[in-house]
Amino acid sequence: MKSYRFYYQLLDELRIAKSFTVSQLCEDIISERTYYRNMISNKDMRFDVFSKLATRLGVQPFEIVHYSTFIKDGDPGASRFIYRVHLQHFSDIDEIYAQIINHQDDNFEFGLLLQANILKYHYLINKISLDEYRSKLSEIIIQLNPLELHNPYIVSLFALYVNEYPMNELLNMDKLLEKMLELNDNLGIIFMLISHDLLLYKMIGSRTIDNILFSKCVEKFKGIVNYFPHKYFHGRYCLFAAYNDLLSNQLDSMETNLYRYFINQIILTGNQQYIDEVKKVSEAFQIDYHQFLRKKSIEYFHSSQFEVSSN
């Protein structure tokens, strides 16, 4: 997780651009002395005060985090690479890959996370086997302490590992998810979003699912997604909400959320990735995909006052 210094320096750039004095920005929120001290502090961020300062400047805190992750000059593209690997969006990844393949990050945990995602990318493009990916990922994980899940980079690494080994002896899925519920994920929102998505999807169809834990994690995911403008994740929320509805026997709501998920994924994904998702989801919900989609589409057309033949 990035420090006070990193984010407060970005905040100060914005303050200057908007012609605020430090006094105007800090009034009734934080002392000027503390503001300047935070600009050189390497401690982990507290979100509450930072959020108030960002809001006074007319921006959402996440906008600053998004800028720092994907846009700020000097970023070699590591975060963008991790993001694309998770989504399996490879259309423009070659240039980013060339920039990060030999990158040595100053942050040890983030450097390991980048290595792990390079391995995952190599597996997804069939450069290495699944066994080789898992073996090398395990070599990375043993460098970390599962009791020190204090930042989103370590959480993301264990999410990758738990996705491959849900019942491993180091840290099982339920324990990792319980820890993720405790963490303030605002400043690591990109990585926490990816981790929740990865593990919640893994839980779909599981025979050992903890219903209460799953429900809490879906709510946490919803809270993160509300601040993240990407249709893929909004579609995934519909899937997780639908499965949560299934577990609680709310079948009407389940069908609505599941239909929204399918329509969203048809637009955003394709080919093998979509085929794999349809197979997994159809089995988990015990539905015939084509019949379900046809039935719900006809219902929606009728509700929109279109006349559609059911023959």
Q: Domain spans of the chain?
A: 4-61, 74-223, 229-311
DSSP code, position 170:
S
Alpha-carbon distance of 63 to 58, in angstroms, equals: 10
pLDDT of residue 167: 82
CA dist 153 → 2, 139, 187 (Å): 10, 16, 11
Task: Kindly give the residue spans of alpha helices, DSSP state H, lying in 101-188.
Answer: 108-124, 130-141, 152-164, 173-182
Which helix or strand (DSSP H or E) is residue 214 part of?
helix 211-225
* 182 CB-near residues (< 8 Å, 6+ apart): none
Fold entry, domain 4-61: 434 Repressor (Amino-terminal Domain) (1.10.260)
Confidence of residue 308 (pLDDT cuts 50, 70, 90): very low
With a cut of 90, say whether residue 264 has pLDDT above it: no
With a cut of 80, say whether residue 305 has pLDDT above it: no
With a cut of 80, say whether residue 64 has pLDDT above it: no
pLDDT of residue 9: 85
pLDDT of residue 26: 95
Q: Each residue of 237-261: pLDDT tens digit?
A: 999 999 999 999 999 999 999 999 9
With a cut of 60, say whether residue 174 has pLDDT above it: yes
Q: Average pLDDT for residues 4-12, to the nearest whole number?
A: 81
Tokens 């982990």, residue? 44
What is the secondary structure of 7-73 as a DSSP string?
HHHHHHHHHHHTT--HHHHHTTTS-HHHHHHHTT--SBPPHHHHHHHHHHTTS-HHHHHHIIIIIST
pLDDT of residue 69: 67
Q: Each residue of 78-125: pLDDT tens digit?
A: 988 999 999 998 988 999 999 999 988 888 999 999 999 999 999 999
pTM for this one?
0.81
Alpha-carbon distance of 181 to 185, in angstroms, equals: 9
Percentage of the residues of the chain whose pLDDT score is greater than 90: 55
Residue 9 tokens, joined: 């320096």
